[in-house]
């Protein structure tokens, strides 16, 4: 904490600064080790059960699309949980943001300002969602109420507001048939287009990624993969190499002690609520510009999946301990299992929820065990 107060940002491990001993001891203290082991087991199991189809060119693209969705929102949830808070409004924020963008793209900008471009629809929506995120954080820090209760209230409020607006303006809770803005707008293509085409080009040149006609089968990954990588890298850097990372860990570990050492606890917490709102908006933008549709039900239960992935990735429910790398492992695991039904027909989709429940409960016990080893049982 003295380092944070002095303004230094020392080289340190992302997950914890108390690691010592040999390699095995250090690995045992990493919160993401369990998530990595589960991820490897799932990759091998699904690869074998699907006959390799889960990782052929199209399978890899589809899997990474789902994984990236999970990863974007779980990263926001992870940082907030490390600081000791929860956001149960993430899923409803996704639905609200998608509704806002789609309504503007269909009916024009508010107050009769004219036709909306994809950029205008996105940034106006982002301004609203960041404002809502700020409002949630402000209520939590000022009222000293549990973030669980405050965000639960916003979960219902935003979901209801989304449905009301859809019905009043659009006469339906769905919007479909929007123009394919990817064809005319580079901005829309950033969210709904394809990226990293070089990867599949190389695969094709190496003799793979070929369809039955002998042409290149898949051209690139969905844009959300790029955004997931960006969000993850930035979040990792913030936690690992910046003073803000020290502040986040300190806030979740002991708020009063952090405040006494000069950490702007309230600003950190409010900023992280805004970050989860940003992640939800990013998620919604990728959906709207890829599918050219919006639905009031979008994002349903995504807040619980985001929290579950963060916990499986090694983030403690009590705060002060977690890892973006663990979230990456957790997102890969959840994404593969959620999508397994498309590659392994014998698997009932309901088993995904069984898997989530079992892995989540196991992760909670493992994370607590890791915490006790590091803190000496405190």
pLDDT of residue 21: 53
Task: Please report the domains of the chain, with CATH numbers, ordered by start residue.
Answer: 2-375 (1.10.3470)
pLDDT of residue 370: 65
Taking the C-alpha atoms of residue 309 and residue 323, their distance in angstroms, rounded to an integer, is: 11
pLDDT of residue 225: 97
Residue-level pLDDT, tens digit, the chain, 378 residues: 444 444 444 444 444 444 455 666 666 667 677 788 889 999 999 999 888 889 999 999 999 999 999 999 999 999 999 999 999 999 999 999 999 999 999 988 876 677 889 999 999 999 999 999 999 999 999 999 999 999 999 999 999 999 998 888 888 888 988 999 999 999 999 999 999 999 999 998 888 888 888 888 899 999 999 999 999 999 999 998 999 999 999 999 999 999 999 999 999 999 999 999 999 999 999 999 999 999 999 999 899 999 999 998 888 888 888 889 999 999 999 999 988 878 877 777 777 888 888 888 888 777 777 666 665 555
DSSP string computed for 221-268: EEHHHHHHHHHHHHHHHHHHHSHHHHHHHHHHH-HHHHHHTT--HHHH
pLDDT of residue 81: 95
Classify residue 116 by its DSSP letter: P
pTM of the predicted model as reported, rounded to 2 decimal places: 0.89
């Amino acid at each position: 904490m003295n380092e944070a107060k002095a303004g230094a940002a020392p080289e340190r491990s992302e997950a914890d600064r108390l690691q010592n001993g040999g390699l095995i001891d250090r690995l045992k203290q990493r919160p993401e080790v369990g998530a990595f082991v589960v991820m490897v087991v799932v990759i091998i199991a699904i690869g074998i059960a699907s006959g390799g189809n889960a990782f052929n060119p199209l399978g890899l693209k589809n899997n990474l699309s789902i994984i990236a969705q999970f990863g974007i929102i779980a990263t926001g949830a992870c940082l907030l949980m490390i600081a000791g808070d929860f956001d149960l409004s993430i899923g409803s924020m996704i639905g609200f943001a998608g509704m806002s963008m789609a309504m503007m793209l269909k009916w024009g900008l508010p107050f009769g300002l004219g036709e909306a471009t994809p950029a205008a629809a996105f940034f106006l929506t982002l301004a609203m969602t960041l404002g809502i995120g700020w409002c949630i954080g402000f209520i939590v820090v000022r009222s000293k109420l549990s973030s669980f209760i405050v965000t639960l209230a916003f979960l219902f409020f935003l979901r209801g507001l989304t449905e009301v607006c859809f019905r009043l303006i659009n006469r339906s809770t769905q919007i479909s048939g929007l123009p394919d803005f990817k064809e005319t707008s580079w901005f829309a293509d950033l969210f709904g287009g394809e990226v990293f085409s070089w990867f599949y080009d190389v695969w094709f040149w190496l003799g793979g990624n070929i369809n039955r006609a002998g042409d290149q089968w898949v051209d690139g990954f969905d844009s959300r993969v790029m955004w997931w990588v960006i969000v993850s890298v930035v979040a990792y850097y913030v936690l690992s190499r910046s003073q803000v990372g020290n502040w986040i860990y300190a806030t979740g570990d002991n708020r009063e002690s952090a405040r006494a050492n000069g950490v702007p606890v309230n600003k950190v917490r409010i900023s992280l609520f805004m970050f989860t709102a940003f992640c939800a908006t990013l998620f919604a933008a990728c959906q709207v510009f890829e599918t050219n549709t919006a639905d009031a039900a979008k994002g349903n239960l995504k807040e619980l999946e985001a929290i579950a992935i963060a916990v499986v990735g090694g983030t403690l429910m009590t705060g002060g301990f977690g890892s973006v790398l663990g979230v990456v492992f957790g997102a890969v695991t959840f994404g593969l299992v959620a999508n397994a039904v498309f590659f392994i027909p014998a698997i009932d989709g309901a088993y995904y929820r069984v898997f989530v429940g079992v892995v989540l409960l196991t992760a909670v016990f493992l994370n607590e065990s890791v915490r006790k080893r590091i803190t000496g049982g405190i």
